[in-house]
């Protein structure tokens, strides 16, 4: 008796608000190509409720990203959401190294001539100061019960949004972890739950890791 093969779950990390019509068209075409290969594909600008709050959008994308067996990153240096999602995937790939993560490249003259060459490790080596550096930051986050975040103006938002995505993912995996800010906005902890109270745009921030053991 023939059985149906379960579809492979795929998540696409890409810009939503800053993506132009041509980029969105290319992403939809790639989603359709993967679906023709029996993949279940989550493309945020089509499959995530973009009218939800910022917190709900992060919840939806984080859940889909962490459920995916395969992830394709269409990197956009100017996108805050892309860096947040990369942070989430960094945690997921650390805990589940068997998952496949690819950075996509394409030729402008032939947008569907996509090819995957770089992996997540290469992306962090090339753009974010080193893969092992971020593994060290993640291990530090995993040790701490409280991840402290301080918001300050910062033009280099990429690093802070990756860190925020990492912290958000860790709180989904370890509900007792607490993320707090130095102000009455951002992320707060209450009765074992956490709430993210930021606007549609995250704003500029930097993330501080505090060694609470030394303060005791």
Read off the CATH number of the domain in which 192 is found. 3.40.50
Contact of 41 with 12, CB cutoff 8 Å: yes
Residue of 173, 168, 194, 206 lying closest to 84 (CA atoms)? 168
> What pLDDT score was predicted for residue 7?
83
Residue of 24, 26, 37 lying closest to 110 (CA atoms)? 26
Range of the domain at 86: 8-215
Domain contains 113:
yes
pLDDT at 124 over 70: yes
Task: Say which residue the tokens 């690819």 belong to.
Answer: 102
Domain contains 68:
yes
Domain contains 203:
yes
Q: Which residues contact 48 (CB under 8 A, 6 or more apart)?
A: 16, 42, 57, 60, 61, 64
How would you class 108 by CB atoms within 10 Å of its CB: exposed for 0-12, middle for 13-18, buried for 19 or more? Answer: exposed
Residue of 192, 197, 155 lying closest to 176 (CA atoms)? 192
> What pLDDT score was predicted for residue 85?
95
pLDDT at 22 over 70: yes
Domain count, the chain: 1
How would you class 65 by CB atoms within 10 Å of its CB: exposed for 0-12, middle for 13-18, buried for 19 or more? Answer: buried
193: three-class secondary structure by DSSP: strand
Domain contains 2:
no
Distance CA 10, CA 157 (A): 27
Task: Say which residue the tokens 């973009």 belong to.
Answer: 50
Domain contains 192:
yes
Segment among 29-33, 67-71, 94-98, 183-187 with least mean pLDDT: 183-187
Domain contains 208:
yes
Tell me 45's DSSP state. Answer: H
Mean pLDDT over 129-138 rounds to: 92
Distance CA 202, CA 207 (A): 13
pLDDT at 193 over 80: no
> What pLDDT score was predicted for residue 160?
80
Residue of 149, 145, 208 lying closest to 177 (CA atoms)? 145
Task: Say which residue the tokens 């995530």 belong to.
Answer: 48
Q: What is the pLDDT of residues 35-64, one digit of tens each?
A: 999 999 999 999 999 888 777 888 899 999
């Amino acid at each position: 008796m023939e059985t149906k093969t379960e579809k492979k779950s795929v998540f696409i990390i890409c810009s939503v608000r800053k993506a132009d019509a041509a980029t969105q068209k290319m992403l939809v075409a790639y989603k359709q190509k993967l679906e023709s290969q029996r993949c279940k594909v989550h493309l945020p600008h089509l499959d995530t409720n973009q009218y939800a709050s910022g917190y709900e959008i992060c919840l939806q994308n984080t859940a889909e990203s962490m459920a995916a067996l395969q992830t394709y990153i269409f990197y956009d240096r100017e996108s805050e959401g892309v860096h947040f999602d990369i942070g989430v995937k960094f945690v997921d790939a650390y805990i589940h190294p068997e998952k496949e993560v690819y950075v996509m490249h394409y030729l402008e003259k032939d947008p569907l001539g996509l090819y995957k060459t770089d992996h997540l490790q290469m992306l962090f080596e090339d753009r974010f100061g080193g893969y092992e550096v971020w593994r060290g930051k993640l291990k530090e986050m995993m040790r701490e019960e409280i991840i402290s975040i301080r918001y300050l103006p910062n033009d280099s938002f990429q690093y802070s949004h990756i860190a925020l995505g990492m912290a958000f993912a860790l709180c989904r995996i370890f509900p007792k972890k607490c993320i707090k800010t130095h102000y009455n906005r951002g992320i707060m902890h209450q009765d074992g739950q956490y709430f993210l109270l930021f606007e549609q745009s995250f704003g500029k921030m930097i993330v501080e890791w505090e060694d609470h053991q030394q303060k005791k």
